[in-house]
Structure 1
Amino acid sequence: MELKGIIPALVTPFDAKGNIDFKTFEKLLEFQLARGVSGFVPLGTTGEYYAMSDAERADVLRCVKEVVGNRALLIAGTNSSCTRNVIAHTETAKKLGYDTVLLAPPYYALPSQEELIAHYQAVLDAVDVEIVLYNYPVRAGVEVGFETMDAFADNPRVIGIKESSGNLLRAIEINKRYGDKYQLSCGSDDQALDFFMWGAKSWICGPANFMIDPVIRFYNKFNAGDLVGAQEEMRKMFPVMANLESGKFVQKVKYGCELAGVPVGDTRLPLLPLTEGEKLSLADAFAGISA
């Protein structure tokens, strides 16, 4: 798989009773496809996979695959807290038509780099999929370190890394160390322009759920060589990015969908809905994009 373009890390819509709202899911997918996204990642961090049963996770993957078909790249989030469960979720994804998965280190276990290498190898041995590594140490508790990346640099089935550490120097070092051995995908939203300048070809983007128009404009301008225009689009988006990064990221992305005209419901506990003040702050920042 070639990782390119804007790939929304999808929210999971819930109805008033907290059940998955598949009709709204279809509406959200079509809304984004119509605006030119390159692909989707269901069941990533923004998708609240950790708050779902195994059956619900399978239903989400099935829904996205049935709606999207072959119209865009599809990368399944199959992460869990242990290798056995990751393999089970990856097997389910494969059966449902996903050939590529996004995998952060198992959370809470805090594996060493040696253990992390064994974890990824076990998944590769068990299921015939490609893997996009996901470095998000603030969530996983450990980093996908260079020792792990070295171990898979020549493995054609470990195709890239979503870099979400917030450390731009690490993204630059990935590009320097590995060149085309790993496809670099931006996972630090407020650094997207910098990532593309340093070799990223894709942006796996939570804010694209609701800021899809400016995100697509940014990508198209950068891809056309209009660096000044791309910078201007990022400058417009930056107040929203700063608001998102200040806390309650998933809740704010979901409320942003409401502001964009596609309400997707609230988050599941333990995440609480935004306060009215938090909603107003995000709405003010969002309004500035089109000002």
Structure 2
Amino acid sequence: MKLNGILPALVTPFDQAGKVDHETLATILEKQLAAGVSGFVPLGSTGEYYALTNDERRQILATVKEVVGNRGTLIAGANGSCTREVLEQIRQTVDAGYTNLLIAPPYYALPSQEELLAHYHTILESFPEINVVLYNYPIRTNVEVGMDVVAALNDHPRVIGIKESSGNLLRAIEIGEHHKGIQLSCGSDDQALDFYLWGASSWICGPANIFPEKVVDFHRKFTSGDIHGAQDVMRNLFPVMANLESGKFVQKVKYGTELSGFKVGNARAPLLPLTDDEKTEFRRVFEACQG
């Protein structure tokens, strides 16, 4: 399986009552498909996976599957704090018709690298029908998918890629150069151009909720050989990327999605809404890149 193109890390819209807004979710999916994205990643960190009930997760999976059909690659997040919980999440995700899963290290337990590798092997042995995309995001899990784990899984036929969100470009370079059995997918939005230069062919992208046309344009320009054109797109987007990476990422992606025309509600507690000053600053860089 080839990871290719822009795969939005989907936001989860909430209505005024705080419930998942499936109608808005369906509209967002259609807009992003029209912009040319290659697929979607529901139930990730941008989608507030951790703040959803199991029933809400199942309903979101069903909506995405129904709307997208065979029009894009689907990679669902299925995570938890221990192996048992992750296996339960994978079961309901597989039952919803998904075979590609984005799996981060269990948070809070803080497994060693040996224990993390055993965790992934248990998943792969328990579900021979799935493909796994590793998810390295140590700022959220406090556990890194270390290079020994990457090397150990490099030749596994169903470990197809890694979403690298550490912010450490040297890791992306090492994976792209020395672990070619695992496809490199950009998960550090402000480093997308660097990732592509070092071998990434996909971008699992939170900002695609805000301006899907622009990030698709970046991918198309780069893959057609127009490196300077791709650089120009990133130069235009960089102030927004820098603002997103400065803190309150989920809230800012949701606010950016609102500025793009979709009422997606606030992030769920414990995350608080942006202040008026934070909204003003984000709107400033958003409007500047639209010009």
TM-score range for the pair, normalised by the shorter chain length: over 0.9
Maintained 8 Å contact 2:58/2:93? yes
Matches within 5 A, 1:1-291: 1-127=1-127, 128-179=129-180, 181-291=181-291
Query: What is the CA-CA distance between 1:150 and the residue it aligns to?
Result: 1.8
Distance in 1, matches of 2:121 and 2:160, equals 14
Distance in 2, matches of 1:215 and 1:251, equals 20
Query: What is the CA-CA distance between 1:217 and the residue it aligns to?
Result: 1.1
Query: What is the CA-CA distance between 1:97 and the residue it aligns to?
Result: 1.1
Query: What is the CA-CA distance between 1:94 and the residue it aligns to?
Result: 1.0
Query: What is the CA-CA distance between 1:36 and the residue it aligns to?
Result: 0.3
TM-superposition CA deviations, 1:143-175 (whole Å, max 9, x none): 000111122111101111000010111100111
TM-superposition CA deviations, 1:193-238 (whole Å, max 9, x none): 0000000000000011112121111111111111111101000000
TM-score (norm 1): 0.98
**AA matched with 1:188:** S
**AA matched with 1:286:** F
Distance in 1, matches of 2:75 and 2:16, equals 28
Distance in 2, matches of 1:19 and 1:34, equals 26
Distance in 2, matches of 1:13 and 1:290, equals 23
Query: What is the CA-CA distance between 1:190 and the residue it aligns to?
Result: 0.3
Secondary structure of residue in 2 paired with 1:81: coil
Secondary structure of residue in 1 paired with 2:13: coil
TM-superposition CA deviations, 1:54-97 (whole Å, max 9, x none): 11111111111011111000001001111111111111111111
Distance in 1, matches of 2:218 and 2:121, equals 36
**AA matched with 1:142:** V
Distance in 2, matches of 1:190 and 1:243, equals 10
Secondary structure of residue in 2 paired with 1:266: coil
Query: What is the CA-CA distance between 1:290 and the residue it aligns to?
Result: 2.1
TM-superposition CA deviations, 1:254-277 (whole Å, max 9, x none): 000111111211110001111111
Secondary structure of residue in 2 paired with 1:215: helix
Distance in 1, matches of 2:262 and 2:54, equals 26
**AA matched with 2:256:** G
Secondary structure of residue in 1 paired with 2:216: helix
CA-based RMSD of the aligned residues comes to: 0.8
**AA matched with 2:182:** Y
Query: What is the CA-CA distance between 1:122 and the residue it aligns to?
Result: 1.0
Maintained 8 Å contact 2:185/2:203? yes
Maintained 8 Å contact 2:28/2:262? yes
Distance in 1, matches of 2:228 and 2:44, equals 31
**AA matched with 1:283:** R
TM-superposition CA deviations, 1:8-40 (whole Å, max 9, x none): 000000011111000011011001011000010
Query: What is the CA-CA distance between 1:288 and the residue it aligns to?
Result: 1.1
**AA matched with 1:119:** H
**AA matched with 2:134:** L
Which structure 1 residue ranges, 4+ long, deviate > 4 Å from structure 2?
none
Query: What is the CA-CA distance between 1:141 and the residue it aligns to?
Result: 0.3
TM-score (norm 2): 0.98
Distance in 2, matches of 1:169 and 1:148, equals 16
Distance in 2, matches of 1:176 and 1:28, equals 35
Distance in 2, matches of 1:168 and 1:60, equals 32
Maintained 8 Å contact 2:177/2:198? no
